[in-house]
Amino acid sequence: MKHLELAERLSRISEPQTIKMAKLSRELKAQGIDIVDLSIGEPDFDTPAHIREAAKKAIDEGFTHYTPVAGIADLRAAVVKKLQRDNNLEYLPEQIVVSTGAKQSIANAVLSVINPGDEVIIPTPYWVTYSELVKLCQGKVVFVPCGIENKFKITPAQLKAAITPKTKLFMFSSPCNPTGSVYSKEELKALADVFAKHPGIYVLADEIYEYINYVGKHESIAQFEGMKDRTIIINGLSKGFAMTGWRLGYLAAPPAVAKAAENIQSQFTSATCSITQKAAVAALNGPKDSADEMLAEFTKRRAFVFEQMSQMPGLKLINPDGAFYMFPDVSSFFGKSYDGEVVNNADDLCMYLLHKANVTFVTGSAFQQPNAIRISYAASMEKLQEGMKRLKAGLEKLA
């Protein structure tokens, strides 16, 4: 007798811990419990007014129909202009594919290049979605653990050692989620030098946090000789323009990859929302003041959170150069307990802090770094003050 069964591929992927934590936190809030949620990776700012206006205009003018799969012409042109202006990179509009978020762009890219058995190198800690997409495509994930001593960044020697004849793709983010680390121009050049000896490897450079950089100008690995022909740049509007809910991402890639991504997307979602695309044109072509204001605010919050956590005994942390996360090592608390409840790992610590201190973080195990937890400071100063107070009190109770 035949039973109803789900597809085998589901057994290969898991629900992101980031989303799980946010869900748990919402459930407790719904029960009336006051939770400070520092688990979410999204700016708490409103989308700037001129972008909202462009969307309203699109609705009023009836710009509410299907668009070309890869995006409307003025948006692809705006992305080309942005890459030229901000990154000094020359692309043609047909190399740009707009999607419903950087996440879909990454999915488009992985589906476009990975065959079963292909190896994909991912330095860890890393953003969870990368490996899950590779597994969906039956690729083989090759994790390269990167420690706090090199600010969680992969070295050229580590990269070289991880490459095999089966390596097809290298995936990384800079600025990085979850660590906040930023690769310098020199560091990227050194990695590009390794790739130069291996022409069959694509590089997926996730640059979604480009504008949230505290140490200077963003650098793209695509700028080095030969790299543009193999690099798939991922970017979007979620973080830099506070537009997470609008769903707008894009990739810039070699023509064959862009064409493949467009084909794949045409079967999944067609194009992203027409109204969002008009808003995105306004965002990319418009003033950058609001992005600068957000960065100024993140700079203050980062200083506050870093100062607070530096004073909490047992936390080992570095002050990250980008994004809006702190990623302290919490292993000194493992083995401690409260009320008979032992904290054995970062998962336990996050659950303990959620239930006993009513503050949420994401366990580092979600990012392949079991000794850390991730704190998002994309929250108001009031929330951060309360969150830090609760964290400190929670940690002090462990003995």
Q: Which residues bind ligand PMP (CB under 6 A)?
A: 41, 101-103, 127, 173, 177, 206, 208, 236, 238, 244, 249
Q: Exposure string (b/e) for 323-350, b if CB count within 10 Å is 16 or more?
A: bbbbbbbbbebbebeeeeeebebbbbbb
In the complex, what is the shortest distance from the CB of residue 237 to ligand PMP, in angstroms, rounded to a whole number? 7
Query: For ligand PMP, which residue has the nearest CB?
Result: 101
In one-letter notation, the amino acid at residue 62 is G
> Tokens 């090759």 correspond to what residue?
142
The residues facing 119 across adjacent strands are: 140, 167
**Rg of the chain on CA atoms, in Å:** 21
CA dihedral of residues 193, 197, 198, 201 (deg, nearest 10): 20
Q: Residue 350 to residues 266, 364, 365, 370, 394: CA-CA distances in angstroms?
A: 40, 9, 11, 12, 10
In the complex, what is the shortest distance from the CB of residue 322 to ligand PMP, in angstroms, rounded to a whole number? 11
In the complex, what is the shortest distance from the CB of residue 204 to ligand PMP, in angstroms, rounded to a whole number? 10
Comparison of 247 and 278: residue with beta carbon closer to ligand PMP: 247
In the complex, what is the shortest distance from the CB of residue 234 to ligand PMP, in angstroms, rounded to a whole number? 7
Comparison of 220 and 238: residue with beta carbon closer to ligand PMP: 238
Comparison of 15 and 225: residue with beta carbon closer to ligand PMP: 15
Comparison of 87 and 100: residue with beta carbon closer to ligand PMP: 100
Comparison of 358 and 369: residue with beta carbon closer to ligand PMP: 369
Query: Is there a contact between 156 and 297 (Cβ–Cβ < 8 Å)?
Result: no
In the complex, what is the shortest distance from the CB of residue 248 to ligand PMP, in angstroms, rounded to a whole number? 7
Comparison of 129 and 358: residue with beta carbon closer to ligand PMP: 129
In the complex, what is the shortest distance from the CB of residue 41 to ligand PMP, in angstroms, rounded to a whole number? 4
**DSSP state for residue 92 in the 8-state scheme:** -
